[in-house]
Amino acid sequence: MNHSGAAVPVLAGRIKDRVPGASTTLFSSAPANHDGKNEKIPNGVFYELRKLYYECAHAAYPMPIAAVMKLVPTSQLLFGTDYPAEPMESTLDNLPGNGLSARSCRRWTEAMPNVCSLASKALHEWRWKRIVNLTGNH
C-alpha cells in the first residue's frame, strides 16, 4: 500500500467492525463478530492487513509513520518516493526522526538503488551533495 497505508491504518478498526457478521450500530443486535472474522477471512481483518506491505513515499512524516507502525511490524515497511514528481528529500529527510531503527532506515536506503537506475543515480547524487555540504569538503 502506498503512502504509509494512507487512511488504512487509521480506519483499520472501522474496517474490522464492518466485516459481514459484525455489527456495532445502535440499530442492530449486539455484535456477533468482535474480531472481524468470517469464512473468507478466518484469521480476521487485522491479520490480513498486517500481511500487506506499506511503502512510505511522501508519507514519512511522524503522524503517518506512527499510525502504520501501530498496525504492522517494520518488516512490512518499504521505502519509496514519489520522485520525480516530489523530491526524494520529502521522504528521506523525515525517516531518521520517526522512531525507526538505524537498521530499518539503512535497509530502505540501501535497497533503493535496485529499484530503478534513474532514481538510483539521483539518490546517489543527492547523498554525495549532502555529505559534501555536511562535512564542508569540496
Which residues touch 36 (CB under 8 Å, ≥6 apart)? 15, 16, 17, 19, 22, 44, 45, 46
pTM of the model: 0.68
77 φ, ψ (degrees, to nearest 5): -95, 135
Q: 4 in the Ramachandran plot: left (φ > 0), alpha (ψ -120 to 50) or beta?
A: left
SS3 content of the chain, % helix, strand, coil (to 5): 50, 5, 45
Please say whether the beta carbons of 57 and 81 come within 8 A.
yes
pLDDT by position in tens, the chain (length 138): 888 899 999 999 998 888 876 655 556 665 556 678 888 889 999 999 999 999 888 888 889 989 999 999 888 888 888 878 888 888 878 877 777 665 666 665 555 444 444 455 566 566 656 655 555 554
